Amino acid sequence: MGRQFLLTRAAWWWVLCVGLWPLLWLIVLTVQDGLGANPAEYLIRATGDWTLRGLCLGLAITPLRVQLGWPELARYRRMLGLLTYLYACLHLACYVLFDMGLDLQEIVQDVLKRPFIWLGVSAWLLLSVMAATSFNRAVRWLGGARWQALHSVVYAVAVLAVLHFWWMRAAKSNFNEVLVYAVILGALLAWRLQRAWQRKRQRAAKPT
C-alpha cells in the first residue's frame, strides 16, 4: 500500500505541501509578529536550518530506495532538491535584505571578511547550478553521464553547508546541532562512498 501510494498524484501533492509548510509557518509568524526580539536572526536561522534538513532528506532518498527496495522514492528526489534550493535562496535573501540592508558594497566586504559567509555563498552557487539543470531538458542536453557528474556536487554542497554552520557556531562555542547534521550527512556520504567502492570492486572482479 505504501509503495502504491507513492506513485499517486495525491502523494506528490502531500509531499509538496509538507515541504512548503515551514515557509507558510514562517509567513504566519511574521504576520503575527511572532519572530521574537530579533526577527532577522530568527528568519536567517530558520531558513538555514530547513536548508540543512532538506539536504539530509535529499541525500537520504537513494539509501532508502536501495535499502527498502522502493524505487518509487526516486520520483521525489527532484522535488526535495528544489525545495532545498528554495530554502537556501530564502536564507540568502534574509541575510541580504534584513541583515545587510541590500547594501551591495557592505555585502561584498562581509563575504570577504567572514569565511563562513563565503562558504555559504559557495554552497548556494553550487545549488543554483544543480537547480538550473534539474529538468528533463537539461538531462537530455548534457547527457546522462555528464548530468550525473554535475549533480554529484551535492556532496560538496553538504560539506560546505556543515562547515558554514560550524564556523558560524564557533563564535558561540555551541556545536551540538552542528554535530547532529554532521553525523547525519557524514553517514549518508559514507554510504555512497561504500557503495561506489563495492561497485568498483565488482567491475574489477568481472572477467575480461
Mean pLDDT is lowest, of 13-22, 170-179, 182-191, for 170-179
Mean pLDDT across the stretch 154-177?
Answer: 85
Q: Are 163 and 115 in contact (CB under 8 A)?
A: no
* pLDDT level of residue 2 (50, 70, 90 thresholds): low
Segment 31-55 shows an average pLDDT of: 93
- CA neighbor of 84 nearest in space, from 111, 52, 38, 120: 52
Q: Higher pLDDT residue, 185 or 171?
A: 185
Q: What is the mean pLDDT of the chain?
A: 89
Q: What is the pLDDT of residues 61-96, one digit of tens each?
A: 999 999 888 999 999 999 999 999 999 999 999 999
Largest CA distance in the chain: 68
**pLDDT given at position 207:** 67
Q: Radius of gyration (Cα) for the chain, nearest Å?
A: 19
Q: What percent of the chain has pLDDT over 90?
A: 53
Q: Over the stretch 96-149, which tens digit does the pLDDT of each residue have?
A: 999 888 888 999 888 888 888 999 999 999 999 999 998 888 888 888 788 888
For 46-76, letters b (16+ CB in 10 Å) and e give bbbbbbbbbbbbbbbbbeebeeeeeebbeeb
pLDDT attached to residue 136:
84
pLDDT above 70 covers a percentage of the chain that reads 97
pLDDT of residue 208: 57
pLDDT band at 174 (very low <50, low <70, confident <90, very high): confident
Range with the lowest mean pLDDT among 32-36, 83-87, 201-205?
Answer: 201-205
Q: Give the span between the Cα atoms of 19 and 26, in whole angstroms.
A: 13
pLDDT value at position 13? 95
- Neighbouring C-beta atoms of residue 30, cutoff 10 Å: 13
Which DSSP string corresponds to 140-207?
Answer: HHH-HHHHHHHHTTHHHHHHHHHHHHHHHHHTTT--HHHHHHHHHHHHHHHHHHHHHHHHHHHHHHS-
Determine the 3-state secondary structure of 135 from DSSP. Answer: coil
Residue carrying the nine cell digits 502504491: 4
Q: Model pTM?
A: 0.91
Instruction: Give the number of other CB atoms < 10 A from CB of residue 26.
Output: 20
Contacts for 175-178 with beta carbons within 8 Å, 24 or more apart? none
- The closest of 43, 16, 45 to 31, measured between CA atoms, is 43
Task: Enumerate residues 6+ apart whose C-beta is below 8 A from 62.
Answer: 74, 77, 192
For residue 135, what pLDDT is reported? 87
